[in-house]
Amino acid sequence: MTQTNAAERNAEILAELRRLYPDAGPELHFTNPFETLVATMLSAQCTDKRVNLVTQKLFARYKCPKDLAAITPEELEPQIRECGLYHNKAKNLVAACRMICEKFGGEVPGDWDALNSLPGVGRKTANVVYANAFHGDAIAVDTHVFRVSNRLGLAHAKDVEKTEAQLMQAIPKAEWSRAHHYLIFHGRRVCSARAPKCAQCTLRSLCEYCAAQEAAEKKEGSAT
């Protein structure tokens, strides 16, 4: 496929995703950068639905980084236990809030490098917070984005960082954040890890995964 053809195909994929999910956006609940950071850190290997149940109570009690910085991880653990990995999450949340208070004046920093420097904050979390809380241009690659983008052919990578770099080339910068949500919505609703609903997918004719599956079925059929 030529570079021009690939660009046209990528544009078609994005247009269809945009049509399918015009209201795509965060499914975590938050109202400010502090809540965005906490909810995103809690969401690691946990559903957004469960995180939202936990943060509803948590945010009523802790309003800013200073509040979490004032407690110990041991005090926080039972309050976030339902999110799983609660020992590490509590340790990182308290450490991150203490660092925010010590280095950033008690406000979650809006600079990507500063976000990425916080304890427990990797590239994905930094990208999510930067995009959702500060309207920055970033595309976070979670398990859904990784799977769907590589199946569709927007990326051809074996790891998250290479997938992110390739998506940044394939997708216009102004759409990075929205594309992240489009791909998550599609992954949750259609392109699941197991038994994806390919027959129902309106992206079927543009999808490399579907093309490969169909070719394999034809080959198997001709061999019998």
What counts of helices (H) and strands (E) characterise the chain?
Answer: 12, 0
**Is residue 124 annotated as part of the catalytic site, yes or no?**
yes
Hey, what are 179's tokens?
A: 């594309």
Tokens of 35: 């809540």
One-letter amino acid at 77 equals E
Q: Which of 124, 137, 159, 197 is catalytic?
A: 124
Find out whether 193 and 150 touch, Cβ atoms under 8 Å: no
Query: Catalytic pick from 91, 142, 158, 159?
Result: 142
Q: Name the residue type at position 158.
A: K
> Is 142 tagged catalytic?
yes
> What is the C-alpha to C-alpha distance for residues 53 and 140, in angstroms, rounded to an integer?
23
Of the candidates 171, 169, 201, 172, which has an alpha carbon nearest to the alpha carbon of residue 186? 201
Q: Cα dihedral angle (122, 125, 129, 132), rounded to 10 degrees?
A: 140
Element spanning 167, H or E: helix 160-170
Hey, how many other C-beta atoms are within 10 angstroms of the C-beta on 182?
Answer: 24
Hey, which residues are catalytic here?
124, 142
